[in-house]
Structures are given as structure tokens and as C-alpha cells.
């Protein structure tokens, strides 16, 4: 696929979905695609499915149109179903069953761990974000302010505000093109990326204070147990950014952050500064992601989870 119109031939209905626990790139790419279709193909019926996004993304246009479940639409057979930023079929959020029954399926993504689960797969593992991959499939002169705002949000989030090594000259060029639409990029970045609530800052501080250094200071581990999350009244969404802060500790090669989203069931976030390929570690434990940012879900005691993870990381650190 070179351009998006190639997949729209004879299509009247389109379903769009991102991944579980949608992040900025997932929301930005799904909404960017939705808004692009809405403006340029008004005759198409397009629906977006995403788990409840964080309220900080409410500046993106038409967020109220998003379906958070498939209730009453279980039998909807879309002519085309597109996933964005979804690394494997199991990771399609709420709309998995609709993907299965759709007539044509397309997967647009940038995860190196993605083997391609659509009938058509457009996966560019070297590109910063699904939002950037999407931009390259759109006609630049058909993009307008609303779609541009969403796509810019996705690129800014998945590059850590144009900081990570996946940020390329093309990423910057595209971000520059998008800025021309005149949205308030400073406000978008402050509000959707950096801003934290008081309690989010409190838990960040707590995790950092209790973090442990392993493997001669090359690996740092932060954790939050269920009972502490309940004490502060926080959910996984409130813990975004904690692992990125851990990674910035001097001397650290790998940062691990785990939180207990159900008793004895942990969501694991991994970040690398370059030597260790954390997507391999995540894939080993049934997850996925990128070389420098990956994740998985693991059962067991906190102690076992951390031990198992660090053992896999150590193999890479020792060059085994």
C-alpha cells in the first residue's frame, strides 16, 4: 500500500481501532485517520473504537464520537477494518470481534514485534509512531486542522516530544508540516504529555524513592503494589511517565516499572538506553514493543516477576 485511497475502493463502512490502554500515538493515529475520512470522504460511515482515553486528550476533535465498547454493534460487518498502533491481534482493544468478521482488514503499525495480522499489513518498524506511518499514507493537501492536531499529538507522544532515537529528520519535517495548521503545540505538549495531577506526582515520587538498583547500577526497578495504588486511589493511567523518569537515572541501561493491576497480575513497562533490546525481553514473556520501549503482562509474586525479568535482561547485558 502506497496511499490510503487504495484500500478505500468499494468501501462504504470503516471500523477503526487502536490497542488496549490507548496511549497518545494510538489515540492520535486512530482519531487522525477518522477525522481525515470524515472530512474527505463524508459519504463513508466510519466508527472508532478505543477504550476510555485519558481526559487530557479531549482537545482532539470529535472524541465524543468514539465507541468504548461494541454493545449493540456485535454483528456489524464492516467493509474495511483498520487497526493503528496495534502490535498483535490480541492487543486490539474492545473491537477484536468486529475485526474478525470484517470483509477486509488492514494493519497500520510501527512495532518491530508485529508479524502482520491483517489481510493487508503496512508495518514500518523504523518509524517513530503509528501516527507518522499514517501521515505518509495520506494526501498532504487533504489534511486539515483537526486531523493534523491528532496526528501531531501521536508523533509528539511516541517520540517523547521529539527526543527518542526513533525521531528522524522525516519526523521533524512532518511535525513541521503539521505545525503549519496553527494549533497550539506548546499547550498540547504541556497539557497532554507533561502535566500531572498532584496525586500522579505523589505516586511518581514514591516509586522513585522506593526504586532499587540491580546489576551494578545498570538496571533500575520501580514498582507499585495493588494496596498502594488503592491507598492513593490511582489506576494504571496515572502511572504514565514513571518508567521514563526511571530510565533517566545516571548509569542505567534498562528501567523496569511494574504495577499490580490485579492481585498477582502485573503490567510491566521496559525502557532501554540502547544496549539491551527490551522488545526481545517483552516478547519472551508474551508481550511486545520496540527496541527501547516495550511491555508485557506477567503473573506471580512481585518478587518472581522482577527476578524473571532481570534474569532475561542480564543475559543481554552479559552478551549471552
Closer by beta carbon to ligand AMP, 118 or else 287: 287
Q: Please pick, from the candidates 296, 306, 309, 313, the single residue that binds ligand AMP as defined by CB under 6 A.
A: 296
Q: Please pick, from the candidates 127, 156, 203, 293, the single residue that binds ligand AMP as defined by CB under 6 A.
A: 293
Q: Please pick, from the candidates 14, 17, 25, 99, the single residue that binds Mn ion as defined by CB under 5 A.
A: 25
SS3 per residue for the chain = CCCHHHHCCCCCEEEEECECCCCHHHHHHHHHHHHHHHHHCCCCEEEEECCCCCHHHCCCCCHHHCECCCCCCCCCCCCEEEEECCCCHHHECCCHHHHHHCCEEEEEECCCCCCCCCCEEEECCCCCCHHHHHHHHCCHHHCCHHHHHHHHHHHHHHCCCCCCCCCCHHHHHHHHHHHCCCCCHHHHHHHHHHCCCHHHHHHHHHHHHHCEEEHHHCEEEEEECHHHHHHHCCCHHHHCCHHHHHHCCCCCCEEEEEEEEECCEEEEEEEECCCCCHHHHHHHCCCEECCCEEEEEEECCHHHHHHHHHHHHHHHHCCC
Q: Cell 502511572 identifies what position?
A: 239
> If binding is defined by CB under 6 A, does position 272 make contact with ligand AMP?
no
Least distance from Mn ion to the Cβ atom of residue 3, Å: 21
Closer by beta carbon to Mn ion, 128 or else 211: 128
- 136 by Cβ neighbours in 10 Å (0-12 / 13-18 / 19+) ranks as middle
> If binding is defined by CB under 5 A, does position 85 make contact with Mn ion?
yes
Closer by beta carbon to ligand AMP, 31 or else 143: 31
> If binding is defined by CB under 6 A, does position 287 make contact with ligand AMP?
yes
Closer by beta carbon to ligand AMP, 61 or else 296: 296
Considering only residues 13 to 72 of the shown chain, the ones binding ligand AMP according to CB under 6 A are 19
Q: Please pick, from the candidates 297, 308, 312, 317, the single residue that binds ligand AMP as defined by CB under 6 A.
A: 297
Q: Which residue is nearest to ligand AMP (CB)?
A: 295
Closer by beta carbon to ligand AMP, 151 or else 282: 282
Q: Report the partner that residue 269 touches, choosing among ligand AMP, Mn ion, none (CB closer than 5 to 8 A by kind).
A: ligand AMP
The grid coordinates listed for 83 are 487497526
Buried b (16+ CB within 10 A) or exposed e, 37-70: bbebbeeeebbbbbbebeebbeebbebeebbeeb
Q: Which stretch binds ligand AMP (CB under 6 A): 140-148, 160-168, 175-183, 283-291?
A: 283-291
> If binding is defined by CB under 5 A, does position 240 make contact with Mn ion?
no
Closer by beta carbon to Mn ion, 165 or else 184: 165
Q: Report the partner that residue 24 touches, choosing among ligand AMP, Mn ion, none (CB closer than 5 to 8 A by kind).
A: none
Q: Which stretch binds ligand AMP (CB under 6 A): 147-155, 177-185, 225-233, 294-302?
A: 294-302
Q: Which stretch binds Mn ion (CB under 5 A): 20-28, 114-122, 215-223, 252-260?
A: 20-28
Contact footprint for Mn ion (CB under 5 A): 23, 25-26, 85, 129-130, 158
Contact footprint for ligand AMP (CB under 6 A): 19, 87, 91, 243, 269, 287-290, 293-297
Amino acid at each position: 500500500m502506497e496511499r490510503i485511497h487504495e484500500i478505500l475502493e468499494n468501501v462504504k463502512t470503516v471500523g477503526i481501532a487502536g490497542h488496549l490502554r490507548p496511549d497518545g500515538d494510538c489515540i492520535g493515529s486512530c482519531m487522525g485517520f477518522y477525522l481525515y475520512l470524515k472530512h474527505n470522504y463524508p459519504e463513508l460511515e466510519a466508527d472508532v473504537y478505543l477504550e476510555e482515553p485519558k481526559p487530557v486528550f479531549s482537545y482532539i476533535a470529535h472524541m465524543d464520537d468514539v465507541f468504548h465498547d461494541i454493545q449493540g454493534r456485535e454483528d456489524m460487518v464492516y467493509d474495511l477494518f483498520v487497526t493503528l498502533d496495534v502490535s498483535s491481534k490480541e492487543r486490539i482493544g474492545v473491537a477484536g470481534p468486529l475485526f474478525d468478521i470484517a470483509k477486509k482488514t488492514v494493519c497500520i503499525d510501527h512495532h518491530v514485534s508485529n508479524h502482520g495480522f491483517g489481510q493487508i499489513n503496512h508495518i514500518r518498524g523504523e518509524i517513530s509512531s503509528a501516527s507518522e506511518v499514517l501521515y505518509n499514507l495520506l494526501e498532504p493537501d487533504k489534511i486539515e486542522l483537526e486531523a493534523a492536531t491528532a496526528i501531531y499529538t501521536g508523533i509528539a507522544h511516541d517520540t517523547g516530544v521529539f527526543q527518542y532515537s526513533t525521531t528522524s529528520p522525516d519526523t521533524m519535517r512532518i511535525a513541521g508540516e503539521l505545525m503549519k495548521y496553527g494549533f497550539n503545540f506548546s499547550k498540547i505538549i504541556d497539557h497532554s504529555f507533561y502535566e500531572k495531577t498532584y496525586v500522579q506526582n505523589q505516586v511518581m515520587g514514591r516509586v522513585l524513592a522506593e526504586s532499587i538498583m540491580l546489576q551494578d547500577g545498570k538496571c533500575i526497578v520501580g514498582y507499585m503494589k495493588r494496596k498502594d495504588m488503592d491507598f492513593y486511589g490511582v489506576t494504571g493511567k496515572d502511572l504514565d511517565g514513571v518508567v521514563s523518569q526511571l530510565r533517566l537515572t545516571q548509569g542505567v541501561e534498562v528501567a523496569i516499572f511494574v504495577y499490580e493491576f490485579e492481585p498477582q497480575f502485573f503490567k510491566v513497562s521496559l525502557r532501554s538506553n540502547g544496549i539491551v533490546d527490551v522488545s526481545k525481553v517483552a516478547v519472551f514473556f508474551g508481550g511486545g514493543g520496540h527496541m527501547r520501549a516495550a511491555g508485557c503482562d506477567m503473573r506471580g509474586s512481585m518478587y518472581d516477576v522482577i527476578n524473571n525479568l532481570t534474569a532475561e535482561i542480564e543475559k543481554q547485558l552479559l552478551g549471552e
